[in-house]
Amino acid sequence: MTILISLYLFALGLACGSFFNVVGLRVPAGQSILRPPSACPHCGHRLRARELIPVLSYALSRGRCRSCAAGVSPLYPAGELAAALLFVWAYLRFGLTVQAWIGLLLASLTVIITVSDIRYMRIPNAVLLAFLPMLLALRLLNPDGRSYIEYFAGAAIGGGVLLAISLLSRGGVGMGDVKLLALFGLVLGWKGVLLALMLGSLAGTIGGLLLVLIRKGKAKEPIPFGPYLSLGALIAYGYGDAIIDGYLNLFK
């Protein structure tokens, strides 16, 4: 049964990931997520059903438009595959529980804002506001043995800390990142959101250094922080308690 559910969630994640790409690419640009139908951004060729199969269509076309042969961004299959893997992870980690539903929502949110932040360096308010009531309702339904105060404190601390960093760095951190971390704090609690911030900062530092090496020392272009915060939040959500307990045990 576990294998069948995992396969189903993998296929569902692929399909949802395709939609998440649309949301992440169109919402920041002020476009409708329903119209017009998907088309090649270079020649305007409207994609047919066989060209919309998640990951497989990209692989079969070798990452190029079938009409004009222009390159297609690898962001598309990456988003689809990431959603599929994260859907399966949420189920395997939490089973058929409310915690798994929260995990699915977090996975969906992180894929969307990662696509948006990489493409536009923006995290749309509309996306955050769409996920806020769903995550809040599920967290109130299942506080996971913690008080509600801890989660509201997580939102305040997560957003407050990053807001302070943004002000001190004079815009080095965008307000979209501030709002995103506040939303993560509402799900993770204050301990979890601080862990997510530390993990995200560490991942961002490593990613930034790698980009500097790839660009041969040129580090003038801004680096999207949303994807790294998302990675930190997912790790904190799935394994935060174990990580924090393991760290504290080092001092006993």
The dihedrals phi and psi of 140, each to the nearest 5 degrees, come to -65, -35
Counting every residue, how long is the chain?
A: 252
Q: Which amino acid is at 158?
A: G
Helices 226-249 and 75-94, axial angle in degrees (round to 10)? 30
| pLDDT reported for residue 44 | 64
Alpha-carbon distance of 107 to 42, in angstroms, equals: 30
The reported pTM is: 0.93
Question: Domain limits of the chain?
Answer: 143-252
DSSP 8-state symbol, 71: B
Alpha-carbon distance of 99 to 145, in angstroms, equals: 12
Q: Is 159 exposed, middle or buried (0-12, 13-18, 19+ CB in 10 A)?
A: buried
Number of neighbouring beta carbons within 10 Å of residue 213: 10
| pLDDT reported for residue 35 | 82
Alpha-carbon distance of 240 to 247, in angstroms, equals: 11
| pLDDT reported for residue 218 | 56
Alpha-carbon distance of 89 to 10, in angstroms, equals: 9
| pLDDT reported for residue 39 | 72
Chain-centre distance of CA 199, in angstroms? Answer: 14
Alpha-carbon distance of 161 to 198, in angstroms, equals: 12
Q: Which of 184, 205, 206 is nearest to 195 (CA)?
A: 184
| pLDDT reported for residue 37 | 77
Tens-of-pLDDT digits for all 252 residues of the chain? 899 999 999 999 999 999 999 999 999 988 988 887 777 777 766 777 777 788 988 888 887 877 787 777 899 999 999 999 999 999 999 999 999 999 999 999 999 999 999 999 999 999 999 999 999 999 999 998 899 999 999 999 999 999 998 888 877 788 999 999 999 999 999 999 999 999 999 999 998 888 778 765 555 677 899 999 999 999 999 999 999 888 888 887
Cβ-contact 177, 229 below 8 angstroms: yes
| pLDDT reported for residue 235 | 97
Alpha-carbon distance of 235 to 141, in angstroms, equals: 22
| pLDDT reported for residue 216 | 59
Residue with tokens 């394994």, as numbered in its chain: 239
Q: Which amino acid is at 1?
A: M
